[in-house]
């Protein structure tokens, strides 16, 4: 079925829908991962975006129940050179086209993704529309121009859960109320007192929860609107801020709450959480030209000199020049943007990239151990056995 991809700057590419008729729109970006398309599709950080994969073949291993990073697909559209309709993998339970169509997400193939990627690298991420319903390219371009810009959008509150939940190792479970009216900690499976970590879910990937739990942490996950007073009421040992979509500067209410919490608890943040901590500490963020999206971005650990190959997905960045009283810990070797910092006086650490890196690579997973040690040292609780 013929489909058009139209960008706001006038670029028109013709392809074929492999999910049936329809129309969708969003910010068009590219991802450099060769595999991991199911993790990309279910990453809430991609809300509001249509993702073009630079690797030419997608779908050859199908989809399965184990590799999802949330409860549904969050990308607005999926753009590929070629989609494999008949997967070959022992874990596959469905094909990529069926998976997208079942959830009402458009997929388009036959696109020259090399040309599209080059265009986005030169011109920057663009608003765009995919349509099988409108055959007039210029009409689609005009409609793309009227789409909301990613700057100023508070998408984290859109994807954030409606209420607190706990993590049972595989799926979220509704949190229960304690006798005092606050939310109860789930307790570790073996009944011991774990490191009680309150996790803000701005669009979290489930592998973050898995890896926090592996570090002996007892998790209570809360929505973006959870206030500082509510945090105090459940008495956590530490606070963790997740990844998520949209413009961090738009979360003004959340930043105000986090500014207070940085003075009271050990804290760590990943991706959007990193950016929000930057704001909470008095810094600012800016939009990158075309963002960092993929599983092959080199990051330098400034303390050790080691290079980590990292998984990344962000369109905004903390401005190094606006941060005070922090030590820069990690830098991106492609464009020298900030990838991590630690506060000089407060127990606060943050990184911009994804150490949970599902499906990979796993170079950066020591960040979870760093957070564990920070929480144990600061709170003074007895650490669970490793």
Residues tagged in the binding site annotation for L-glutamine: 45, 244, 246, 272, 275, 313, 315-316
Least Cα distance to 276 among 297, 301, 298, 250 occurs for: 250
CB atoms within 10 A of CB 93: 13
Alpha-carbon gap, residue 131 to 133, rounded angstroms = 5
Residues tagged in the binding site annotation: 45, 244, 246, 272, 275, 313, 315-316
CB 317 within 8 A of CB 286: yes
> Is-catalytic flag, 386?
no
> What is the distance between the terminal CA atoms of the chain, rounded to a whole angstrom?
54
CB 87 within 8 A of CB 111: no
Alpha-carbon gap, residue 236 to 232, rounded angstroms = 7
Alpha-carbon gap, residue 70 to 247, rounded angstroms = 21
- Active-site annotation holder among 69, 271, 314, 330: 271
Q: Name the maximum alpha-carbon separation found in the chain.
A: 66
> Is-catalytic flag, 343?
no
What burial letters (b/e) apply to 82-92, b meaning 16+ CB within 10 Å? Answer: bbbeebeeeeb
Bridge-based pairing state of the strands 267-270 and 238-241 = parallel
CB 318 within 8 A of CB 170: no
CB 196 within 8 A of CB 218: yes
Helix (H) or strand (E) segment spanning residue 126: strand 126-131
> Is-catalytic flag, 84?
no
- Active-site annotation holder among 274, 279, 292, 354: 354
- Active-site annotation holder among 27, 76, 339, 356: 356
Helix (H) or strand (E) segment spanning residue 273: helix 272-280
Least Cα distance to 200 among 139, 168, 264, 156 occurs for: 156
Positions marked active-site = 271, 354, 356
């Amino acid at each position: 079925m013929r489909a058009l991809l139209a960008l706001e700057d006038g670029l028109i590419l013709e392809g074929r829908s492999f999910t049936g008729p329809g129309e969708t729109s969003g910010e068009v970006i590219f991802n450099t991962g060769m595999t991991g398309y199911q993790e990309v599709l279910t990453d809430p950080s991609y809300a509001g975006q249509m993702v073009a994969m630079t690797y030419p073949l997608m779908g050859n291993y199908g989809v399965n129940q184990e590799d999802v990073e949330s409860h549904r697909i969050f990308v607005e559209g999926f753009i590929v050179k070629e989609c494999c309709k008949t997967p070959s993998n022992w874990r596959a339970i469905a094909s990529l086209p069926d998976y997208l169509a079942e959830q009402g997400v458009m997929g388009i193939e036959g696109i020259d993704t090399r040309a599209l990627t080059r265009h986005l690298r030169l011109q920057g991420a663009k608003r765009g529309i995919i349509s099988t319903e409108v055959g007039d390219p210029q009409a689609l371009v005009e409609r793309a121009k009227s789409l909301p810009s990613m700057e100023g959008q508070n998408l984290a509150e859109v994807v954030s859960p409606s209420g607190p939940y706990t993590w049972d190792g595989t799926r979220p479970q509704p949190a229960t109320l304690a006798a005092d009216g606050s939310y109860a900690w789930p307790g570790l499976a073996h009944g011991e007192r774990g490191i009680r970590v309150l996790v803000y879910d701005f669009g979290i990937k489930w592998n973050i929860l898995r890896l926090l739990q592996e570090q002996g942490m007892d998790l209570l996950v809360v929505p973006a609107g959870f206030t500082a007073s509510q945090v105090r009421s459940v008495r956590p040992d530490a606070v963790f801020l997740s990844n998520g979509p949209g413009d961090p500067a738009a979360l003004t209410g959340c930043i105000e709450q986090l500014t207070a919490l940085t003075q009271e608890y050990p804290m760590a943040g990943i991706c959007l959480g990193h950016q929000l901590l930057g704001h909470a500490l008095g810094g600012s963020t800016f939009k990158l030209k075309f963002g960092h999206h993929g599983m092959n971005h080199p990051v330098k650990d400034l303390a050790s000199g080691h290079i980590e190959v990292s998984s990344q997905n962000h369109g905004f960045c903390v401005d190094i020049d606006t941060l005070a009283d922090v030590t820069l810990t990690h830098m991106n070797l492609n464009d020298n943007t900030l990838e991590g910092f630690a506060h000089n006086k407060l127990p606060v650490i943050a990184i911009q990239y994804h150490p949970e890196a599902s499906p990979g690579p796993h170079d950066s997973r020591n960040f979870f151990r760093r957070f564990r040690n920070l929480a144990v040292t600061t709170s003074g609780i007895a650490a669970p056995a490793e």
